[in-house]
Amino acid sequence: MSNPALQRTVLVTGAARRLGRDIAQALARAGWRVAVHYRDSEQDALETVAACTDLSGDSDSFQADFNDEQAVRALISRVVQRFGRLDAVVNNASLFEHDDAASFGYQAMQAHLLSNTGAPIVLAQGLQEHMRARIEAGEPDARGAVVNLLDQKLWNQNPDFLSYTLSKAALEAAGTMLALALAPLVRVVGVAPGLTLTSHLLSQERFEALHRLSPLGRSSSAADVASAVCFALDNQSMTGTTLLVDGGQHLQRFERDFSLM
């Protein structure tokens, strides 16, 4: 990229590891300059930054804990200060801890709502303010986009992970409201993966068996989720809608969360 001031720039939250890293690298491969957000995984974040720098010429890491509203609010301006511009936010970071109707409490609900709903909304708000500032500075066509990582389980609910599911349901509803409120400056699109990566709750063998449980015989790959994010950021006509990237898992009835089946 010959002129860094013209390189489109994206903030990917929770991009140190797992799906966030795949999304960051796919965006860097597509030419985006990537701001890599992390909370605790500093070493992994530096590895994501190195990979993104190799792919698109520049990248940097930004630490923030999303329980801290001021830290979330400062994130957009820190990225803008470092790169000179910000064009998109991918809200990928997420808390995923188990609770259900029996164990539900304010503490779990609050933690999930802060990191999975509040922070993405504050970041979308910050992106709109940045777009306004760019327009006032003489860039009338400045436009931004937000992608919110959701979950196919919103369309196929079960009683597990109650606070997590509530926080993602709230984010899905916020997607509609923000698409209206932030237009025409910022588009808002959801991407809802199915079972994509395993966790400590599942053996590799069990994960592979569950991954096959879908109309297409496979759930989402990280590459397919990342490519949906790239598409949502590129497609200038999409807002207020969600891409379900899950092999059709949302069309099937599952009584429990995959990790507890």
Ligand X SMILES: NC(=O)c1ccc[n+]([C@@H]2O[C@H](COP(=O)([O-])OP(=O)(O)OC[C@H]3O[C@@H](n4cnc5c(N)ncnc54)[C@H](OP(=O)(O)O)[C@@H]3O)[C@@H](O)[C@H]2O)c1
Residues of this chain that bind ligand X (CB under 6 A): 14, 16-20, 38-41, 65-67, 92-96, 115, 149, 151, 193, 195-197
**Minimum Å distance from CB 92 to ligand X?**
5
* Terminal CA-CA length for the chain: 48
- Residue number with CB closer to ligand X (30 or 93): 93
Judged by beta carbon, residue 20 or residue 144, the one nearer ligand X is 20
Contact of 61 with 49, CB cutoff 8 Å: yes
Closest CB to ligand X belongs to which residue?
A: 14
Q: How far is the CB of 101 from ligand X (least distance, A)?
A: 20
Nearer to ligand X, 9 or 152 (CB): 152
Residues 6+ apart with CB under 8 A from 96: 161, 164, 199
Q: Which is nearer to ligand X, 59 or 115 (CB)?
A: 115
**Closer residue to ligand X, CB minimum distance, 7 or 165:** 165
The tokens 């990917």 sit on which residue? Answer: 12
132 vs 126: CA distance, rounded Å? 10
Please state the closest distance from residue 244 (CB atom) to ligand X, in A.
10
- DSSP label at residue 192: E
Residue 20 or 85 with smaller CB distance to ligand X: 20
Give the nearer residue to ligand X in terms of CB position, either 133 or 223.
223
Question: 213, exposed or middle or buried, with CB in 10 Å at 0-12, 13-18, 19+?
Answer: middle
DSSP-derived 3-state class of residue 70: helix
Element holding 37 (H helix, E strand): strand 33-38
Q: CA-to-CA distance for 204 and 225, rounded, in angstroms?
A: 20
CA distance 37 to 40: 10
Least Å distance, CB 89 to ligand X, is 13
Minimum distance from residue 193 beta carbon to ligand X (Å):
4
Whether the CB-CB separation of 59 and 36 falls below 8 Å is answered with yes
> What is the DSSP annotation of 39-67?
SS-HHHHHHHHHHHHHHHS-EEEEE--TT
Q: How far is the CB of 119 from ligand X (least distance, A)?
A: 7
Peptide bond preceding 120: is omega within 30 degrees of 0, i.e. cis? no
- Work out how close the CB of 88 gets to ligand X at its nearest, in angstroms, rounded to a whole number: 16
